[in-house]
Structure 1
Amino acid sequence: MTTLLIVDDDPSTRMFLEAFLSFEGYHVRLAAHGQEALAILDTVACDLVLMDIQMPVLDGYQATQRIKERTRYERFLPIIFLTSVETDLELARCLECGGNDFIQKPPSTVILKARIQSWLYHAELVNKLAEDRLDVERVILKMRQDEKFDPRGLRMLVAPLEKTNGDLILSARRSDGVQYLMVGDFTGHGLAAAICGPMVADIFYRLTYQNVPLQTIISRINDSIFQRLPANMFLAAAFLELNREGKWMRVWNAALPAVLRIRSGRLAHEFPSTLPPLGIASPLAETTCEQHPLLEDDRVYLFSDGSVETRSVTGDYFGEERMIRFLEECASSQRTLESLSEVLDTFRGGREVTDDIALVEVRWMEP
């Protein structure tokens, strides 16, 4: 049975609403103020709340704000204010604090019944969509938990904006021990971006185990994105080929921030983007990729743009220079990769997080 919570300090109003809504077939719970309503919601799953504004202990505005904070990541719980106020500012405040609708007191039973039915139907659709999304997220997360991933020689930081995200880190070795690494960032974030990850991962791992050259794998990924995904979906990515026995590496960068090689705690080389994002055009233009020495004290860093494009409250970007200084401190063991989240939070100064963050450190190790 659908459960409604009535929050009002006037006994006669509570009595009238309880009688009317019970007759309409609803199960009704009663609270005389906001604090009592919060206590009820801790133990009872209500489907809709009818909220008065002016009440002792905790008023309707405060109670609504707390309810919305509690249920933000759970399910949609509609709140309809029953109010005697008539000023535009007060009515607007009903919505600003998290309310979904308001009805003037004394309420018309016809209007009240119609509004309740409308919001219950809306809540059912929203909550069903959220459940379906959760099921899809579980499938995607399961698909992305790939046992093929080779973590040797790598340290990583992944800070997704949502449980499913558009950042992708793949690592595997050919039969001769040469390691391929990819850090990618699909357009946007969330489900739309995350769905594309398993397709790219399948191509990457399958062809790596067939000892296919990395440049060919990059071209195959590009062609698949171009052919299979909508025109607004593309992948910014950086690829690394590591030959630890020969002590050299190759870098391909397709629209990610520059890959950085830090030696003895100082920036030694930047590998800027030389390719467009994958999926923009097919075939992908070939590019010459030279071998670069890889020494024992080298640290190579690949990262998505979520960190450098973090903005402060004044609108400034964290930027590449701050990122380089941070990574130089990481390479010289003055900081940990995990501290980047704290550094960005401080720089952001309370501003909302807007993008996923992925950072990979590659260290030299014995082949």
Structure 2
Amino acid sequence: MRPLNILTIDDDPLLGQAISAFIVQLGHTGLYLDNGSDGLEHYRTEAFDLVLVDRLMPGMDGLQTTRQLRALQQDSGWRPIIMLSASNAIDEQVLALNSGCDDFLTKPINFSILEAKINSFWRIAQMQQQISRQNIALLSYANLEAEEKRISNFLMERLVRREQLQHPAIEHYLQPASLVSGDLLLVSTSRSGDIYVMLADATGHGLPAALTLIPLSQTFYAMAAKGFQLRSIVQEMNTQHRAYSPPERFVAALAACYRSREGTLEVWNGGIPSAVLLSNAGEVLWRFHSHNLPLGIVDNQQAGHEVETMHLTEEAQLFMFSDGLIEAENAAGEAFGKQRLEQALHRTAPDQRLLRVRRAVTEHLQQALPHDDLSCLQLSCREALSVPKKAADSRTDGAGTWGLQLLLTAAQLKRLDLEPLISDFCQQLGLDNVRQGLFRLILRELLGNALDHGILGLESSIKHDLDGFERYLHQRQERLAALEAGEIRLQINQISGPDSSLVSITVSDSGPGFDHAALAFELPQSDLQLYHGRGLQLLKGLCSRLEFMPPGNQVLAEFRWEHDSTEESA
């Protein structure tokens, strides 16, 4: 124990000097003063560990001196004060303690007791100082935590593009368990009108969880906007997460894409509770179980990344939720559970479901606070409100005339997501920004027909059967995996003149072709619900020219738009 600095205040010089000598003998240092005023002045400028003050002194007595010392200690910190008094009356001791003293010692002074009290109070003072240091450290940690939460909240706000969540086909609910949520809801719409959604549940909370979600959100937004296949997006997110996050910080996620033109819903589930597909009447049509590992656990070769694809024949809603929703416990420790959730969804109108779920959760929790984030999202899957129009008149902002030729062999056809890659490259070459969505729709249909029917030899007519769409996708996956030969040639040109611009897309494949002369473009209105032929109907509606060349394995598609002369002259 380090030497103490002890202040003695007593109007008896003999006793005061004796106490000072005894203090030095114990190995400490001290100062003796004969009045309270001088004692206070020295206490303001010098650090003392213990104060001994006499009860009866002329001028400022011991009680007043003690009160003043305690006032000074409001800023400098607590130090023990022992009152010295010639009286051992109970009333005197009560007065001393009420004035702020920590102990009472009667005269004549028993120096053995004084030594014991000095040692005892110093141990208490040491503990008090330790507590003070710990309080300072805790305050520092609290400030750091507050700053961490502020940064985390800032990051999460930037990760979520809230304007996308306001999409008319989207309803969502997110209640964080703390200031920063470990759940993330993302929505993006591609240029061709496809809607992508994702619910991600990161390991942990706060800044560490937010940091692991940054590469995922950026990858999702960038690739979804360009119309990449869901499998390609998930693979890239898994790669990015493994590159930038520790292995133990995996992310459970559910990603989905609804393509209204084709009427298809794709879902990838990696570690999220089973999403449900609901009819307008609130009946469960399908459950999308988790068939994949969460992002970041294994590489893409081991993961597999199974995507479920469904062809929807009626309007439906995809409802997804995090485990925090069904695991929310009330004060009795009872979880909300899947049964209560589905009871809230059952026979409930689509636009009332989230409200009913929130009420059910609130009623279940009552005053209890959830231990995990609560989140859910509903995606309405319905046909597009309008059919894409041919290119409208508008001033072009493209880069004039350019051309592109590509030869795609089996190696590229098996592993590349072609349409987004080619569309993005054409955008860099100078494809007019206003025509991007139209261009992507046409290119997707042309490439899809060339690959599926020309190279893989798939028949669209099987889609009419009850399980035809699933069988069609299964055959496509098998034949594409076994593909060793075949090629697609692609030529794209943009020609810009002073009054108009033209984009032409020529696609030829190495397949045998088909009897294009017998193709009936004009389907009866009663057959429009059939899947077979809708792609060609769409192409005819979008293109200003659509022509097949014999023997049917080459097609030319063009679309033209006029420049706005008023804007150009301005």
Q: Do the structures match in fold with TM over 0.5?
A: yes
Instruction: Report if aligned partners of 1:299, 1:331 keep a CA contact under 8 Å in 2.
Output: no
TM-score, scaled to structure 2: 0.44
Structure 1 residues 260, 16: closer, same or farther in 2, change over 3 A? Answer: farther
The aligned residue for residue 276 of structure 1 is 293
1:168 aligned residue (163, 175, 184): 184
- Give the match for residue 159 of structure 1: 175
User: Which residue, 229, 246, 268 being the options, matches 1:230?
Assistant: 246
Matched, 1:293 2:303: no
Matching of residue 304 in structure 1 with residue 322 in structure 2: yes
**Unmatched 5+ residue regions in structure 1?**
1-12, 29-81, 85-105
1:324 Cα deviation (Å)? 1.2
Q: What is the CA-CA distance between 1:112 and the residue it aligns to?
A: 7.5
> Map of 1:8-27 to 2, 5 A cutoff?
19-24=68-73, 26=75
Structure 2 CA distance for partners of 1:245 and 1:118, relative to 1, 3 Å: same
* RMSD value, Cα: 3.3
Distance 1:256 1:175 in 2: 28
Distance 1:356 1:329, change over 3 A: farther
Structure scoring higher RCO (CA < 8 A, sep ≥ 6) equals 1
1:252 is aligned to 268
Q: In the TM superposition, what are the counterparts of 1:153-232 in structure 2 within 5 Å? A: 153-232=169-248
Shift of 1:120: 4.5
Distance 2:64 2:264 in 1: 80
Query: Larger C-alpha radius of gyration, 1 or 2?
Result: 2
Q: Quote the offset at 1:155 in angstroms.
A: 0.6
Deviation readout 1:132-187 (Å, 9 max, x if unpaired): 22442343134224367353200110101112111111111222111111111111
Cα distance in structure 1, aligned partners of 2:150 and 2:375: 24
**Percent identity of the aligned residues?**
20
The offset of 1:194, in angstroms, is 2.0
- Indicate if the aligned counterparts of 1:155 and 1:361 stay in contact, CA closer than 8 A: yes
Give the whole-Å Cα distance in 2 for the aligned partners of 1:179 and 1:16: 77
Q: 1:309 to 1:117 in 2, by over 3 A?
A: closer
Contact 2:181 2:373 in 1 (8 A): yes
Structure 2, unmatched stretches of 5+, are 1-61, 78-100, 104-119, 385-570
Match of 2:372 among 339, 343, 355: 355
In structure 2, C-alpha distance between the alignment counterparts of 1:215 and 1:266, rounded to whole Å: 28
CA distance in 2, matches of 1:27, 1:291: 72
Shift of residue 341 of structure 1?
Answer: 3.5
Contact 1:330 1:337 survives alignment (8 Å): no
How far, CA to CA, are the matches of 2:64 and 2:207 in structure 1? 46
Deviations 1:240-287 (A, max 9, x none): 110112222111111111111111221121111111111110013142
Please name the residue that 1:266 is paired with. Answer: 283
What amino acid maps onto 2:371 in structure 1?
A: T
Deviations 1:315-342 (A, max 9, x none): 4332222211112254366x45144344
Using the TM superposition, name which of 357-366 and 170-179 deviates more: 357-366
Deviations along 1:168-214, one digit per CA (max 9) or x if unpaired, are 11111222111111111111223221222222110001112232211
Matched, 1:114 2:163: no
Kept in 2: contact 1:240–1:252 (CA 8 A) = yes
Match of 1:33 in 2: none
Q: Is the 8 A contact 1:169 1:184 kept in 2?
A: yes
Task: Work out the number of aligned pairs and report it.
Answer: 280
State which drifts further: 243-252 or 109-118.
109-118
Query: 2:201 corresponds to which letter in structure 1?
Result: D
Answering whether residue 154 of structure 2 is matched by residue 139 of structure 1, we say yes
Q: Which moved more, 1:134-143 or 1:242-251?
A: 134-143
Is the 8 Å Cα contact of residues 345 and 353 (structure 2) preserved in structure 1? no
